[in-house]
Chain A
């Protein structure tokens, strides 16, 4: 990737985040925007794991769950500041990813998909069953990080929606920047190389097992931070955050937009987050539309919306 491509993508993203509020008819849309950015952040993790390194995970919501419950539990039980709770969640997720990834990343294709799926469901199950700690399936409240009050003291008054919009937007920008850095770096090249041919990657000295584990761990951290942000802005969390459907949503967003491209995957997050909002009138049809979209995009735009469209435009330009 050329350096200019990296800055173009970041600029597009920045403009999107900065200018979108101009078109918001009401404060509610800041909430939707923040949700989009949180999903976008999780999806960037999938881009690193699946788009760069070619590995599948249907269990990444498990890490979002770890992040979310770290934010919910650590302030009360360990007396940590909510921001440190986010860091703790990320560290726990990274450690779990490292341990779980070692055995399961030896697997390929469907086997890897199902093993990761099993991991995610186990996390959701533990969160749902340990009622004493997590409140079980009914969920639990999450303490406010108090950052908004801090800004108020500095003279910056924001509504809750506005605050989380800008906060999540900033996190998304940082996340995208790091992912784009990685893509162009020696490590990123090595990840994309093992995606292309594991045998050839080995013969140039790439430690395939180690690099897959690194990609898995980084993507787990992305999911974990996204989970923490989600928990803190909703002030409430249920085990569904770690559930199978949430894992599927992450992967679908990434693949829909274009799993090989950071900006594409974020676009996938935009579409799939907006879909239920647009379809509220047709709430009964939401699932059908989602299913149909998943099938149609995979058949007709297999690289994902953004890369397929880009290819078509380029083809016309030549």
Chain B
């Protein structure tokens, strides 16, 4: 039984069809990757699934419930979290605090208790910080915990976003180019991290340009071009598909997507 199921999803910006009639499913423990040349609509698809954009057509179902266009914070409550292609961290907060925000749903309580530092509030806060510390260790950032997040390198911030997303205890995690800007060693770490998350039963939807990474860890691949699904299947099938090869000709595979919300 799939956790996420997307049917006929589409959106247009100013008359231009950015994504059209895309469907896919992700089951717990699966890693489904979305690939395609720059401007194929991958990030736009992510933004629709995660409630940032309101889809113009189609349905998004999470565990059978219709969640199309639902606000992101309500989706988070239902177990959907994500990372961003163009980083969205909280630069003025420490790395530890960034990760701790991910515990918001589980560790936040009455406002009055927080203002008065009642024992319950202090316990919740300490719980979130301890949990955040564990997650930072898991993504290899424990030593940077007390630094201001704005000071970290690009690759480290990508991992911080993953730690923060994990803190929400997601059932479905959308990762938008987690390996962008990472060197070979870091990419391998991220590779292991994603595989580990999938093993723990999290359903993972991945956008990534590093084809080696994608081919290695994906259980299923969906190929987008000009906003439409042109192929899908397991890594071996997709990599032999002539349409996919044609779509990629002339488009260097490893180059990061240029514009945000590229349509």
Contact = CB atoms under 8 A, between A and B. Distances in A.
Touch test A–B (CB under 8 Å):
yes
B115 A178 contact: yes
Nearest to B149: A196
A186 B76 contact: no
Interface stretch (A79-87, A203-211, A224-232, A286-294): A203-211
B84 to A, nearest CB: 7
A181 B114 CA distance: 6
Given A193-B93, A204-B81, A199 B115 contact: no
Contacts of B101: 189-190, 193, 201, 204, 206
A272 B23 CA distance: 61
B111 A214 contact: yes
A204 B97 CA distance: 13
B213 interface: no
Contacts of B92: 192, 195-196, 260
B171 interface: no
A197 interface: yes
B76 A187 contact: no
Interface in B67-116: 71-73, 75-77, 81-82, 84, 88-93, 97-98, 100-105, 107-109, 111, 114-116
B88 A188 contact: no
Contacts of B93: 189, 192-193, 196
Contacts of A192: 90, 92-93, 97
Contacts of B164: 200, 204
A204 to B, nearest CB: 5
Interface in A144-184: 178, 181-182, 184
Contacts of A205: 73, 76-77, 104-105, 168
Interface stretch (B117-125, B134-142, B241-249, B251-259): B117-125
Interface residues of B, number: 43
Given A182-B115, A190-B101, A199 B125 contact: no
Contact of A208 (B73, B77, B114, B161): B73
Contacts of B108: 186-187, 190
A186 B125 contact: yes
A186 B114 contact: yes
B91 A186 contact: no
A200 B107 CA distance: 17
A186 B104 CA distance: 7
Interface residues of A, number: 28
B52 interface: yes
Question: SS class of chain A's interface: helix, strand, loop or mixed?
Answer: helix
B180 interface: no
Contact of B114 (A187, A193, A207, A260): A187
A195 B117 CA distance: 22
Interface string B125-154: 100100000000000000000000000000
A197 B157 CA distance: 14
A202 B71 contact: yes
A196 B91 contact: yes
Nearest to B102: A204
B218 interface: no
A58 B20 CA distance: 45
Interface in B145-192: 161, 164-165, 167-168
A185 interface: yes
Interface in A254-296: 260
Contacts of B73: 201-203, 205-208
B216 to A, nearest CB: 27
A262 B102 CA distance: 25
B89 A186 contact: no
Nearest to B51: A202
B5 interface: no
A218 interface: yes
A200 B84 contact: yes
B88 A218 contact: no
A203 B89 contact: no
Contact of A193 (B52, B72, B90, B124): B90
Given A196-B89, A205-B104, A214-B111, 13 more contacts: A181-B121, A185-B117, A186-B103, A190-B101, A190-B108, A193-B90, A193-B101, A196-B90, A196-B93, A199-B88, A202-B72, A204-B165, A205-B168
23 contacts: A182-B114, A185-B115, A186-B109, A186-B124, A186-B128, A188-B114, A189-B104, A190-B104, A192-B92, A196-B91, A200-B88, A200-B90, A200-B164, A201-B101, A202-B71, A202-B73, A203-B50, A203-B72, A203-B165, A204-B104, A204-B105, A205-B104, A205-B168
Interface of A: 178, 181-182, 184-190, 192-193, 195-197, 199-208, 214, 218, 260
